[in-house]
Structure 1
Amino acid sequence: MSIADSILSINNDLPIRTELPVHSGKVRSVYWLTEQDSRRLIEEKAYPVPHDTPLAIMIISDRISAFDCIWHGEGGMLGVPGKGAALNAISNHWFKLFKQQGLADSHILDIPHPFVWIVQKAKPVMIEAICRQYITGSMWRSYDKGEREFCGIQLEEGLSQDSKLANLLMTPSTKGILKGIPNVPEADDVNITRQNILDNYLAFNFEKPSDVSLYEKLLTEGFSLISEALAELEQVFVDTKFEFGYVKDLDGNKKLIYMDEVGTPDSSRIWDAQQYEQGNVVENSKEGFRQLLLNHFPDPDILLNKQRMLERQALAKDNALPVEVLMQVSKTYIDIAEKITGKSLVLSENPKAEIIQILQDNYHLID
């Protein structure tokens, strides 16, 4: 079997029983189960949720997204081998650690296969919760242009690129396009301040003002926990994005949880600590792929300038990347997953067939 065959690129065409359209994001697809199947699984598997909780099957892919585009390789390579399994394994590891340390639960109820989560429906908080311990990326580009205020936080003079910040900074942005919020542009991924959130907490889907402090607590505690664990592995946790949502506990009370993914090479920057101490930045995350794209194409402004999105989409569609590039990205993901989890990543030759078999035999969800 070829490498291309082992890549799960299309993940929205599985014959899972559902009455709603499959929702596909950049990397994951979500299949909402019927009310009957949700209730049956909650009872059969004793999931710790109210019996009327809607459930979904969330299937990750090996697609790679960067600069809001999906990229592909030569020879029909429509993704990165091992990427999906690596992302899920890392998220599973951190979610489990968060729960053990008493931080908060996640939306995951079951893990039938390395590519699959069974999740409970959550009401998402409409914030990309971003934490930064180092000045790099978009923050550095803004700082380098002379900007000193970032998400309402005043930055001191004299910072250098990739240097450690005096404090861990929370720099939230909008998740999706939010309308009618004073001083918040109606666009996706807009930087916002803590005051914006407090003044309009309901518009961001917070239940009460005190939950803004709770999300900040869960964000900083989660960051610190991952940062300390990575430091023991000689890795630097540079910055990350968390997402939060509300679910109901067994008594029907709403509680704030972690959702989406945490501490992965897709949602975080991770640097090699030894190299960083020597003055070099070696990326062990998707940031390395982004830098590669910026160096690969003659006009990097297409990738950085949101006004040139049509050109950017054409660039991604019309340019098959060299196989060795995607294999290097594969190595980055697999290596960091095995380092974090302490286990070998088992790669499937035909993940789609395996998923269908498991969901049929053990969950009776295949029509």
Structure 2
Amino acid sequence: MSLADKVLAVNNDLPIRTDKPIHSGKVRSVYWLTEADSRRLIEEKGYPVAPDAPLAVMVISDRISAFDCIWTGKGGMRGVPGKGAALNAISNHWFKLFKEQGLADSHILDIPHPLVWIVQKARPVMIEAIARQYITGSMWRSYQKGEREFCGIEIADGLQKDQKLPELLITPSTKGILKDIPGVPEADDVNITRKNIEDNVDAFSFRSEGDIDLYEKLLKEGFDLISAELEKLDQIFVDTKFEFGYVTAANGEEKLIYMDEVGTPDSSRIWDGEQYRAGKVVENSKEGFRQALLSHFPDADILLNKGRMDERLALARDNELPESLLMDLSSTYVGIAEKITGKKLEMSDNPKAELLEVLRKDYGLVD
């Protein structure tokens, strides 16, 4: 069996029983279960949710997205072997620790297969909750140009690239395009201040102003927990993005939870500690792949300039990357997942057939 066969690149064509459109994101696809199947599984599996809570099957793919494009490789490689399983394993590990340490629950109710979650429907908060412990990436690029205010927070002069910041910075941006918010452009991923959020609690889908404090508390606590755990492995948690949402608990109470994914090489920068102390940044995250893309193409501005999005999409569509680029990334993902979880990553030879068999046999969700 070839490497390409082990990659789950298309995950929105599975015969999972649903009566709603399949939602397909950059990496995950969501299958909303029928009301009857949701009720049946809640009862059969004893999920701790309200009996009428809507459930979904979330299937991760091995697709690789960077600079808002999906990239493919030579030899029919439509993704990165082991990437989906690595992301899920890392998220599962952190979500479990968050719950054990009393931080907050996640949207995950069950893990039928390394590429599959059964989740409770959450009402997302419309914020990409970003926390930064080091100055690097887009923040450093803006700082170099003389910017000293980030999301309403003043930053001191004299910082060096990749330096640790005096304190953890919370620099949120919009999730999706939000309309009619004074001072906030109608575009995805726009930096916002805490005051923007406080003045528009409903627009950002918070239940109350007090929940702004709660999301920041959960972001900081989650960041600190992951940072401390990674430090034990001599890895540095540089920056990350969390997402939050509301779910209804079994007792009918609405609560704020962690959702999407946390502490993964897709949503975070992770650096090797030993190399950093020696003055060198070695990425154990997707950032290494981004840097490789910037070196691979002669005109890096296409990838960095949002005004050249059409050219960028054409670049991703028309260029198959060398297999070695994707395999290097596979090693990074699998390596960091095994380091974090302390277990060998379960990789499937035929992921699609395997996950459908489990969902048919143990969950009755495939006809």
Same fold, TM exceeding 0.5? Answer: yes
- TMscore range, shorter length: over 0.9
Cα offset, 1:256, TM superposition: 0.1
Deviation of the 1:301 alpha carbon: 0.6
Q: Which digits, 9 at most, give the CA deviation of each residue in 1:107-139, with x for residues without a partner?
A: 000000000000000000000000000000010
In structure 1, what is the Cα distance between the partners aligned to 2:357 and 2:296? 41
> Residue in 2 aligned with 1:252?
252
The residue number in structure 1 matching 2:176 is 176
Alignment of 1:70-109 (within 5 A): 70-109=70-109
After the TM superposition, list the runs of 4 or more consecutive aligned residues in structure 1 that deviate by more than 6 angstroms: none
Partner of 2:191: 191
Equivalent residues in 2 for 1:327-366, closer than 5 Å: 327-366=327-366
| Equivalent in the alignment of 2:218 | 218
Root mean square deviation, CA, Å:
0.4
Match of 1:302 in 2: 302
Alignment size in residue pairs? 367
Q: Identity rate of aligned residues, in percent?
A: 74
Q: Which residue of 2 aligns with 1:157?
A: 157
Deviation at 1:346, TM superposition (A): 1.7
What is the DSSP-based 3-state SS (H/G/I as helix, E as strand, rest coil) of the residue aligned with 1:76? coil
Give the structure-1-normalised TM-score: 1.00
Distance 1:234 1:297 in 2: 33
Q: Distance in 1 between matches of 2:326 and 2:209?
A: 44
Provide the rounded CA distance (Å) in 2 between the counterparts of 1:48 and 1:251.
9
Distance 2:28 2:249 in 1: 25
Distance 1:242 1:267 in 2: 8
Which ranges in structure 2 are unaligned for 5 or more consecutive residues?
none
Q: Take 2:209 and 2:324, find their aligned partners in 1: how far apart are those partners?
A: 50
Give, in angstroms, the shift of residue 67 of structure 1. Answer: 0.2
For residues 11-90 of structure 1, what are the structure 2 equivalents within 5 Å? 11-90=11-90
Q: Deviations over 1:296-315 (max 9, x none)?
A: 11111100111100000000
Residues 21-80 of structure 1: per-residue CA shift (max 9 Å, x gap): 110000000000000000000000000000000000000000000000000000100000
Q: Which residue in 1 is equivalent to 2:121?
A: 121
**CA displacement, residues 234-280 of structure 1 (integer Å, 9 cap, x when unaligned):** 00000000000000111111100000000000000000000000100
Looking at structure 1, the residues matched to 278 and 164 of structure 2 have their Cα atoms a distance apart, in angstroms, of 14
2:138 match: secondary structure: helix
SS at match of 1:56: strand
Q: In 2, Cα distance between the equivalents of 1:256 and 1:91?
A: 18
Q: Which runs of 5+ in 1 are unaligned?
A: none
Corresponding residue of 2:9: 9
Which amino acid letter does the alignment assign opposite residue 37 of structure 2? D
Aligned pairs (5 A) from 1:140-155: 140-155=140-155
CA distance in 2, matches of 1:338, 1:189: 31
State the one-letter code of the partner of 1:106: S
TM-score by length of 2: 1.00
State how far apart, in whole Å, the 2-side matches of 1:255 and 1:337 are: 29
